Structure 1
Amino acid sequence: MVDTAFFPPIVPQTPQNLAGALGLDIVGGDPGALDQNLSGVAPIEQAEPGTLSFLDNAKYAENLANTKASCVILAARFQDKLPDTVVGLISKEPYRDFARAAALMVPTGVKLQGAALSDGISSAAHIDPTASLEDGVTVEPSAVIGAHVSIGSGTTICAGAIIAHHVQVGRDSYVGAQAVLQHALVGDRVIVHSGVNVGQDGFGFAMGPTGHLKVPQLGRVIIQDDVEIGAGTCIDRGTTRDTIIGEGTKIDNLVQIGHNVEVGRHCILVGHVGIAGSSVLEDFVAIGGQSGIAGHIRIGMGAQIAAASNVKDNVPAGGRWAGTPAKPARTVFRELAAIKRLGEQGSASAKSKD
Structure 2
Amino acid sequence: MSDASFFKRGAGLTVGDIGALTGAELGAGTDPARLITGLGPLDRAGPADLSFFDNPRYLDQLASSRAGCVIVAAKHLAAAPAGLPHLVAGNVHVAFAAAGRALFPAALTPAAILPAAGISPRAEIDPSAAIEPDVTIEAFAVVGPHARIGSGTVVSPGAVVGTGCTVGRNCRIGPQVSLSNAFLGNRVVLHPGVKIGQDGFGYVPGPEGLDKVVQIGRVIVQDDVEIGANSTIDRGAVRDTVIGEGTKIDNQVQIGHNVAVGRHCVIVAQVGISGSTTIGDGVMIGGQTGINGHVEIGDGAQIAAVSVVAGDVPAGARWGGIPAKPVRQWFREMRFLSELAKKGRSPRHDSDE
The yes-or-no answer on 1:8 pairing with 2:2 is no
Q: Deviations over 1:255-293 (max 9, x none)?
A: 100000000111111111100000011111111111110
Residue of structure 2 equivalent to 1:303: 301
Q: 1:182 aligns with which of 160, 177, 180?
A: 180
Q: Is there any run of 5+ residues in structure 1 with no aligned partner, and where?
A: none
Deviation at 1:329, TM superposition (A): 1.9
Structure-2 separation of matches of 1:57 and 1:130: 56
Residue of structure 2 equivalent to 1:210: 208
Say which is worse superposed, 327-336 or 223-232, in terms of deviation.
Answer: 327-336
Residue of structure 1 equivalent to 2:281: 283
> Could you say what secondary structure the match of 2:35 adopts?
coil
Residue of structure 2 equivalent to 1:152: 150
Say which is worse superposed, 219-228 or 332-341, in terms of deviation.
Answer: 332-341
Structure-1 separation of matches of 2:217 and 2:187: 23
Paired residues, number: 346
Within a 5 Å distance, the mapping from 1:317-328 to structure 2 comes to: 317-328=315-326
Q: Is there any run of 5+ residues in structure 2 with no aligned partner, and where?
A: none
Structure-1 separation of matches of 2:203 and 2:345: 51
Structure-1 separation of matches of 2:290 and 2:312: 13
> Could you say what secondary structure the match of 1:97 adopts?
helix
1:61 and 1:78 in contact (8 A); partners too: no
Residue of structure 1 equivalent to 2:252: 254
Structure-1 separation of matches of 2:4 and 2:341: 56
2:9 and 2:38 in contact (8 A); partners too: no
> Could you say what secondary structure the match of 1:64 adopts?
helix
Residue of structure 2 equivalent to 1:20: 20
Structure-1 separation of matches of 2:150 and 2:128: 15
1:268 and 1:284 in contact (8 A); partners too: yes
Structure-2 separation of matches of 1:200 and 1:138: 25
Structure-1 separation of matches of 2:16 and 2:116: 32
Structure-2 separation of matches of 1:154 and 1:96: 28
Within a 5 Å distance, the mapping from 1:127-138 to structure 2 comes to: 127-138=125-136
Deviation at 1:49, TM superposition (A): 0.9
Letter in 1 for 2:285: I
Identical columns (%): 47
> Could you say what secondary structure the match of 1:185 adopts?
strand
The yes-or-no answer on 1:269 pairing with 2:258 is no
Deviation at 1:3, TM superposition (A): 6.5
Deviation at 1:79, TM superposition (A): 1.7
Q: Deviations over 1:207-265 (max 9, x none)?
A: 22332222221111000111110111010000111000011111111110000000011
TM-score (normalizing by structure 1)? 0.93
Q: 2:49 aligns with which of 37, 48, 51?
A: 51
> Could you say what secondary structure the match of 2:99 adopts?
helix
Say which is worse superposed, 19-28 or 57-66, in terms of deviation.
Answer: 57-66
Supply the RMSD in Å over aligned alpha carbons.
1.9
Q: Deviations over 1:72-125 (max 9, x none)?
A: 112111222223433222111111111111111111110321223352221111
Structure-1 separation of matches of 2:270 and 2:27: 43
- The change in CA–CA distance for 1:3 and 1:151 in structure 2 (over 3 A counts) is farther
Structure-2 separation of matches of 1:222 and 1:207: 30
Deviation at 1:9, TM superposition (A): 5.0
Letter in 2 for 1:132: A
2:110 and 2:174 in contact (8 A); partners too: no
Residue of structure 2 equivalent to 1:89: 87
> Could you say what secondary structure the match of 1:244 adopts?
strand
Structure-2 separation of matches of 1:296 and 1:311: 11
Flag as ranges the 4+ runs of structure 1 deviating above 6 A.
none
Deviation at 1:64, TM superposition (A): 1.8
Deviation at 1:5, TM superposition (A): 4.7
Residue of structure 1 equivalent to 2:159: 161
Deviation at 1:333, TM superposition (A): 1.6
Deviation at 1:151, TM superposition (A): 1.1
Residue of structure 2 equivalent to 1:102: 100
Structure-1 separation of matches of 2:268 and 2:328: 22
Structure-2 separation of matches of 1:214 and 1:347: 50
Residue of structure 1 equivalent to 2:338: 340
Q: Deviations over 1:132-151 (max 9, x none)?
A: 22222111110011111111
Structure-1 separation of matches of 2:336 and 2:19: 51
Deviation at 1:24, TM superposition (A): 1.9
1:162 and 1:179 in contact (8 A); partners too: yes
Structure-2 separation of matches of 1:291 and 1:210: 35
Deviation at 1:126, TM superposition (A): 1.0
Say which is worse superposed, 55-64 or 151-160, in terms of deviation.
Answer: 55-64
TM-score (normalizing by structure 2)? 0.93
